[in-house]
Structure 1
Amino acid sequence: MTVITRPEPDTAFLIRDLDEKGFTAEYGCDRYTATVLSNRFDYLVEHMSGRLLSGAFSPVLRDFYDLACTISGPPEMDYLVPAASNGIVLMAGTALDGVANTVEEYGVENLGPGDVLISNDPYRTGNHNNDLNFIRPVFVDGRIVGFVNLNAHQLDMGGVVPGGFSATKTNVYENGLVISPRLLIRGGQMVTETWNLIFDNVRMATILYPDMMTICSSLELGEQLLRESIDRYGLDAVHGTIRYVCDLGAESMAAALESMPDGDWSGTEQIDCDGVDDTEQYSLEVAIRKRGPRIELDFSGTSRQARSSVNATAWDTKTSVGIALKYLFLPRGRFNSGLYHNVDIVLPEGTMLSALPPDGCVFMYWEQGQIVLTAMLRALADAVGDAAIGGDSGSADLHTAYGVHPDGTAWVSALQCGGEVGPYGANRFGDADSQCMTYQANGVAPAVEGIEKGTPAVVLRHELQIDSGGPGYFRGGAGMIRDTLWTADAQHSLTSLRYKQAAGFGARGGKDGARGGIWKFEPSQDGMVRTPGTEVPAYRVATAWAGLIDPETNTADAAGEFVYPFCAEQNTSRANSVIRYLTNAGGGWGDPLTRDPQKVLIDVRDGYVSIAGAARDYGVVVIGDPDLDPEGIAIDVAATEAMRSAT
């Protein structure tokens, strides 16, 4: 009989306390092998992602990385997930439950080698119904030993709006095709009725078909790599390492929580409106209780489910909770099932974070995920001290345009020409980047050449907004301006919900980032393009589509009037119109008056901060002309010392 050597029962048990025999008995292999296999799991999910990225036709997959790959253990291991890819973490996190829900409903006993199981119902799998889950069981000697999974956004899944991106859908029947768990591939052969069901209900099947074939190929690759690992190291070692990785995640989270003093905190956050109108306020309330190595998050005070498709499911909320805790306590390493071992979530049904069908329509789930994250980062800022993080742009700010080519074929530009690329908030490690997405996205900025080749669009401008990043000892990321010329008539779908409350909040004395907005610049009467500038007078001829807008200047202003963003009859443009997105800016970290003046000087030289902004926000007096002689500007040391002393 093998004896597992552990500490005494009254001593805290840690994996590192196991001796070599104990570790092998617990996890089916030695520590070295477990380390090799855990890294191989990471390689496997990234290799699957790479296969899809290199072979995808849809710009959402090919250019945006709107996908996630995971590995799951077999049913007897509760479908533990040891590794998730570096794609959209919101899509990876829901796989922790979505795979199990799909497989259990379909029936484990009904699966065979070479099968691919699919499902896209948000209430079963999380996310929205454009995110189609592909699950391939891996068999060894006639039994399921694991699953390789790919959650991938499909360019269109039917519904009332091409591409699906709309805040105005009010029930699941408008949302698009819902696929309950069913086989796409049986024993390596296509299930004709499933493929027909999909292609009878979606637009742009000529893109979906090769994408789905590539996804199935990626799953085959994942199965091959997992089987190779089993052949080389043994099934006990592979299963043991899955448990080891998840146990290590649980242990690490527990230790991080225990290092923080016990306490109670609360946070509140809101979205601006729903897709019906802005007469109802939707707010999130979270009460956080931390005791020892456990933490509870209670969302009982959260508003009811929204009247349109801006809701999320419980699976999405659970994912965002895990992301927030990981950012604050375990910033390194993969997302896995073990992170939730010491986490309790209280979430009533029927809220905007836990919507129910048919009227709790779910599509823009990521916007709700963002306010979960922001509320937690705000609430725990004092508790974590210097580990606090400034807020990011707050909204994925996704833009979809669609129309018809002269030959009658439909076109869609999805997630390409909006505010998708924006800033992070600063933290204790340094200034924030401005060329990112939101904290939960981790997508890829679309290439301008790819945008212009596939749609009637020309990207005219993509640059940072001066003086927008939240001032701090470390500066928040700048708001990004993107101007896109649409050379054909187009309809536009906006998904911006974070203007009324500063999303890019400051941390540890840092200041909030500036608010953004969306504008349309119409062509002149003779149809010629107006190329707008970025100075205040340029906005006077624009039509504001979203944001808090100063009625005098028509520019974004935190004290301005709210412009409702979801007027379908408003969000259209005729050929040669320019649509401008200005993202919210990221929050600063630390007192801006303690920032190194030399860093402020560099910010002025590089266009992040103006001379006036340097004096106003940082107490630094810069002399010279940053436009005509950027290398010749200098700090007036005496004036700077006097200004900072007087503040």
Structure 2
Amino acid sequence: MSIAIEKDSVRVELIRDLNESEFADRYGCDRYTATVLGNRFDYLVEHMSVRLLTGAFSPVLRDFYDLACTVSAPPTLGYQVPAASNGIVLMAGTTIDAVANTVEEFGAENLGPGDVLISNDPYRTGNHNNDLLFVRPVFHDGKIAAFVNLNAHQLDMGGTVPGGFSASKQNVYENGLVLSPRLLMRAGQPVAESWNVIFDNVRMAEILYPDMLTVCSSLDLGERLVLESIERYGLAAVHGTMKYVCDMGAERMATSLAELPDGDWYGSEQIDCDGVDDTEDYRIRVAVRKRATRIEVDFSGTSRQARSSINATAWDTKTSVGIALKYLFDPHGRFNSGLYRDVDIVLPEGTLLSALPPDGCVFMYFEQSQAILGALLRALADAVGPAALAGDRGSADLHTAFGTHADGTPWVSALQCGGEIGPYGANQFGDADTQCMAYEANGVAPAIEAIEKDSPAVIMRHEPRIDSAGPGHFRGGASMIRDTLWLEDATHSLTELRYKSSAGFGVHGGGAGQRGGIWSFGPRDDGAITPPDTSPESFARGEAWAGVIDPTTNLPSEQGQFIYPFRAGANRSIVNSVIRYLTNAGGGWGDPLSRDPNKVLVDVRDGYVSVAGAARDYAVVIVGDPDTDPEGLTVDESATAALRRTATAED
């Protein structure tokens, strides 16, 4: 692809303008073959994912889909990544640089057929220690033709906290086992010293060991599919298609940016605190500058790296930038390395988003990644106009609990019983979903039956909260409320950092979603279970563990008191306690007064909006009782018209 600037306009010479001979000279095959192979790369990474998903023992892999597969070009082609799986895009995006970093440090010349190279150091590979990168070179005629890669979360990688999920770790030595690039398999055989160093340092080896074997099996499958592609279509066509797919990604991004007027835009997001205390303010600041077909994303002015493990690395920041730009400018097609070709990122060292060891401890990178996305969506909301995306809940709301069974056996419930499932923000195409992962996760919801089988927990409630969604012409997703009964004493690790400001911001005239929090409800003095209901009054008898909370009602409130979530010795529950998660809600899109009254009626019938909320937020008068006669609800059209005239005049 080539770009030519002509005075005030941008002319983009497209790949589709190449004639057949020019295309074949550039990509080593015809268009049809390139299309087939491009889709085959997608097929390849999805089949690698499925093999691990169907064989995994860890609930984080099996139920949460906390993995990503990619295929990379050889060093001679710059490690280009033409395909990423539909897993956790935060993990797929970092492999664009992580594979190159890992292979270059180890030495491509030191690799052979059947090898598997691993690394998990966040400063080399991004993400956190539990995300172990597996890289398998694919050899053809004695040379590396490609790499197949799998980035998979391991249930534990050592450190001070089982499972690793803690905001209070203050340096890399507390964080867990760090693996520099090394071989796990040599010529198809285990490298004993690598396996030993892992299992000498981690908990729950009985789960990690079979899962790592399954990862190696997935890499075997990926290698076989690449070699089959080379055998059928030829090495030149496979390498040419890798270039073609990435060139197309770059072309789509450049073409979209060319349509956006040049300009400068600014955004920011607030992080509540770190794991030391809440005395230091952390803020992500971004300036976006677009000229012609290039865009610069500048994080100068972002707060220094935090004092505990809430930091992210430059690789995570780069990934989040790519996700934001793809959402706004190239929503179709796979995430690949080509989309960065016209993107410049300015990121000073030693910030919250570019932490340095040993004190810039990285674990909860996923919280900063989502805040980066929020800052960029805020910055570009006016620039893209109707294409703006409202904020989602802004946090992965990950919850980890751990304890010891009566027989002394340790247990861990990881990423299952918090607010992992929650709302998106609305956009120009319609109302937002309420039961999703975060914008950057794309995982799957753990099954209730699996949670209750593996952990001493009972899921008592999982439902939307009425009147929480950001109002708009299209409504945001509602807060999700989840109550979990814990049948044993437990320690709980919280990861939420987004309560002080509204993460679910509205766009294009839409309103913000309500804020959430976390509460604990202990048993009665005699040990009996007293599960709370969802009425506003029910919150009063709980103990707030996190959020901005009204001291009188114990409900979330913009003017309330911030409850620091990482207090030493806190967040422990006794047997028969209920832990409640209430996620932040998603923002709305467009003027709420323009929402179709019949859509508001459906929301009232379905429990997303109350009768009072319909009048307050949408100026729609609903007649009837949604509890006793939901199908008998009607819109009072004349009263609605009058109320909307009044509301419009007041605006």
Superposition deviation, residue 540 in structure 1: 1.5
Aligned equivalent of 1:20:
20
| Structure 2 residue 60 is the aligned partner of structure 1 residue 60 | yes
| Structure 2 residue 71 is the aligned partner of structure 1 residue 95 | no
Superposition deviation, residue 560 in structure 1: 1.1
Deviation readout 1:545-584 (Å, 9 max, x if unpaired): 0001010000111221110011131110000000000000
Unaligned runs of 5+ in 2: none
TM-score, with normalisation over the residues of structure 1?
Answer: 0.98
Q: What SS does the corresponding residue of 1:497 show, helix, strand or coil?
A: coil
Superposition deviation, residue 537 in structure 1: 1.6
The 5 Å alignment of 1:212-611 reads 212-611=212-611
Q: What SS does the corresponding residue of 1:396 show, helix, strand or coil?
A: coil
Equivalents in 2 of 1:568, 1:45: separation in Å?
43
Aligned equivalent of 2:149:
149
Equivalents in 2 of 1:180, 1:646: separation in Å?
65
> Residue type of the partner of 2:191?
V
**CA contact 1:6–1:13 (8 Å) conserved in 2:** yes
Superposition deviation, residue 536 in structure 1: 1.6
Equivalents in 1 of 2:223, 2:581: separation in Å?
42
| Structure 2 residue 78 is the aligned partner of structure 1 residue 78 | yes
Q: What SS does the corresponding residue of 1:94 show, helix, strand or coil?
A: helix
Q: What SS does the corresponding residue of 2:33 show, helix, strand or coil?
A: helix
Superposition deviation, residue 268 in structure 1: 1.1
Superposition deviation, residue 539 in structure 1: 1.3
**CA contact 1:619–1:643 (8 Å) conserved in 2:** yes
Q: What SS does the corresponding residue of 1:151 show, helix, strand or coil?
A: strand
**CA contact 1:311–1:353 (8 Å) conserved in 2:** yes
Equivalents in 2 of 1:234, 1:519: separation in Å?
60
Aligned equivalent of 2:630:
630
**CA contact 2:547–2:556 (8 Å) conserved in 1:** yes
Aligned equivalent of 2:177:
177
Deviation readout 1:396-437 (Å, 9 max, x if unpaired): 010000001111111000000001100000000000000001
Equivalents in 2 of 1:7, 1:42: separation in Å?
28
The 5 Å alignment of 1:39-58 reads 39-58=39-58
Q: What SS does the corresponding residue of 1:380 show, helix, strand or coil?
A: helix
Deviation readout 1:252-284 (Å, 9 max, x if unpaired): 100100100000011111110000000000001
Cα pair distance change 1:393/1:12, threshold 3 Å: closer
> Residue type of the partner of 2:230?
I
The 5 Å alignment of 1:182-221 reads 182-221=182-221
Deviation readout 1:137-161 (Å, 9 max, x if unpaired): 0000100000000000000000000
> Residue type of the partner of 1:226?
V
Equivalents in 2 of 1:262, 1:117: separation in Å?
44
The total of aligned residue pairs comes to: 643
**CA contact 2:12–2:255 (8 Å) conserved in 1:** no
Cα pair distance change 1:460/1:6, threshold 3 Å: closer
Q: What SS does the corresponding residue of 2:237 show, helix, strand or coil?
A: helix
Equivalents in 2 of 1:619, 1:329: separation in Å?
34
> Residue type of the partner of 2:265?
W
Cα pair distance change 1:7/1:494, threshold 3 Å: closer
Deviation readout 1:132-191 (Å, 9 max, x if unpaired): 000000000100000000000000000000000000000000000000000000000000
Q: What SS does the corresponding residue of 2:209 show, helix, strand or coil?
A: helix
Aligned equivalent of 1:160:
160
Equivalents in 2 of 1:536, 1:248: separation in Å?
52
Aligned equivalent of 1:641:
641
**CA contact 2:128–2:363 (8 Å) conserved in 1:** yes
Equivalents in 2 of 1:7, 1:22: separation in Å?
17
Superposition deviation, residue 8 in structure 1: 11
Equivalents in 1 of 2:430, 2:50: separation in Å?
31
**CA contact 2:426–2:432 (8 Å) conserved in 1:** yes
Equivalents in 1 of 2:576, 2:210: separation in Å?
33
Equivalents in 1 of 2:128, 2:464: separation in Å?
31
> Residue type of the partner of 1:230?
I
Cα pair distance change 1:326/1:529, threshold 3 Å: same
Equivalents in 1 of 2:353, 2:99: separation in Å?
20
Superposition deviation, residue 13 in structure 1: 2.4
Equivalents in 1 of 2:575, 2:132: separation in Å?
34
> Residue type of the partner of 2:558?
A
**CA contact 2:2–2:12 (8 Å) conserved in 1:** no
> Residue type of the partner of 1:386?
P
Unaligned runs of 5+ in 1: none
Equivalents in 2 of 1:7, 1:560: separation in Å?
53
Q: What SS does the corresponding residue of 2:13 show, helix, strand or coil?
A: coil
Superposition deviation, residue 439 in structure 1: 0.3
Equivalents in 2 of 1:279, 1:7: separation in Å?
49
**Divergent runs of 4+, >3 A:** 5-12
Superposition deviation, residue 40 in structure 1: 0.4
> Residue type of the partner of 1:151?
N
TM-score, with normalisation over the residues of structure 2?
Answer: 0.98
